[in-house]
Amino acid sequence: MDMEFARNMIVDFIRSNIEDSGLGGAVVGVSGGIDSALTTYLTAEAIGSKKVLGIHMPQMGITPAEDVLDAEEIADSTGIEFKVIDVNPILNTYIDSLNREGQETSSLVEGNLKARIRMSILYYYANTLNRMVIGTGNRTELMLGYYTKYGDGGVDIEPIGDLYKTEVRELSHLIGISENIVSKVPSAGLWKGQTDEEELGLSYEIIDRILEMLDRGCSVDDAGKTLNVSDERIDSIIGRIDANRHKLQPPRICRLKDVRRPDI
Ligand X SMILES: Nc1ncnc2c1ncn2[C@@H]1O[C@H](COP(=O)(O)OP(=O)(O)OC[C@H]2O[C@@H]([n+]3cccc(C(=O)O)c3)[C@H](O)[C@@H]2O)[C@@H](O)[C@H]1O
- Looking at residues 75 to 134 of the shown chain, list those that interact with ligand ATP (rule: CB under 6 A): 118
Based on the shown chain and the rule CB under 6 A, indicate whether residue 208 belongs to the binding site for ligand ATP: no
Name which position in 13, 29, 30, 31 contacts Mg ion (CB under 5 A): 31
Strand order of the sheet with strand 81-84?
Answer: 81-84, 52-56, 26-29, 132-133
- The interface region with ligand X, picked from 15-23, 85-93, 139-147, 201-209 by CB under 6 A, is 139-147
Axis-axis angle for helices 220-227, 204-215 (nearest 10): 140
- Looking at residues 148 to 167 of the shown chain, list those that interact with ligand ATP (rule: CB under 6 A): 152
Name which position in 42, 196, 202, 237 contacts ligand X (CB under 6 A): 196
Name which position in 145, 154, 161, 186 contacts ligand ATP (CB under 6 A): 186
Number of other residues whose CB lies within 10 A of the CB of residue 239: 12
d(CA 19, CA 24) in angstroms, rounded, equals: 8
Contacts of 38 (CB under 8 A, 6+ apart): 136, 160, 168, 171, 172, 175, 177
Binding partner of 63, given ligand X, ligand ATP, Mg ion, none, CB within 5-8 angstroms per partner class: ligand ATP
What are the b/e assignments for 123-149, b being 16+ CB within 10 Å?
beebeebebbbbbbbbbbbbbbbbbbe
Of 78 and 187, the one with the shorter C-beta distance to Mg ion is: 187
d(CA 192, CA 31) in angstroms, rounded, equals: 15
- Which residue positions form the known binding site? 29-36, 116, 136, 141, 149, 156, 165, 187, 246-247
Binding site for Mg ion (CB under 5 A): 31, 33, 187
- Which residue positions form the known binding site for deamido-NAD(+)? 116, 149, 156, 246-247
- Which residue positions form the known binding site for ATP? 29-36, 136, 165, 187
